[in-house]
Amino acid sequence: MLTGAELLAKVKELGDASKTDLATACGYVSKKKDGSDRVNFTAFYEALLNAKGIELGSGTAGIGKGGRKLSYIAKVQGNGNLLIGKAYTAMLDLKPGDNFEIKLGRKVIRLIPEGGIDGEE
């Protein structure tokens, strides 16, 4: 998916193309389960606004999947795992493969990014 100056240049290059063609050409397409294409207009328009320097509030602070408010509570699952969830990792811009040091205290678990400073927020 194109962003920033590359996105603006591609949109300008395509000129009079339809909105669907613009979003598709810029990479804002995903595959549905049935194999057909889904054009991600919202992501395309948000990237276009950001590229033009217009920063709208993300509107997702405190919102999880399906628009539910985040509870900021995690429950230990039956298998002993503690699941944080995608909404929280997205808020912190965490990527697959990011490593954390685990610090245990009295009934406290702290996750510190590898190479990070303990106490940093």
pLDDT at 67: 60
Token readout for 44 is 């395309």
Residues 3-25, mean pLDDT to the nearest whole number: 91
Q: Is the residue at 72 inside a domain?
A: yes
Residues 50-108 pLDDT 10s: 888 876 665 555 555 556 677 788 888 999 998 888 888 888 888 889 999 999 988 88
For residue 103, what is the domain's CATH number? 2.10.260
Range of the domain at 13: 4-51
Residues 80 and 91: their CA atoms lie apart, in Å, by: 25
pLDDT at 61: 53
3-state helix, strand, coil in the chain (%, to 5): 30, 20, 50
CB of 34 closer than 8 Å to CB of 80:
no
Residues 73 and 101 in one domain: yes
Give residue 121's pLDDT band: very low, low, confident or very high (50, 70, 90).
very low
Q: Is the residue at 24 inside a domain?
A: yes
Q: Is the residue at 58 inside a domain?
A: no
Residues 69 and 107 in one domain: yes
pLDDT at 26: 92
Higher-pLDDT residue of 115 and 59 is: 115
Please tell me the total count of domains within the chain. 2
Q: How far apart are the two ends of the chain, measured CA to CA in Å?
A: 30
Q: Is the residue at 10 inside a domain?
A: yes
Residues 38-48 pLDDT 10s: 999 988 988 88
**Chain center to CA of 101:** 23
User: H or E stretch including 29?
Assistant: strand 29-31
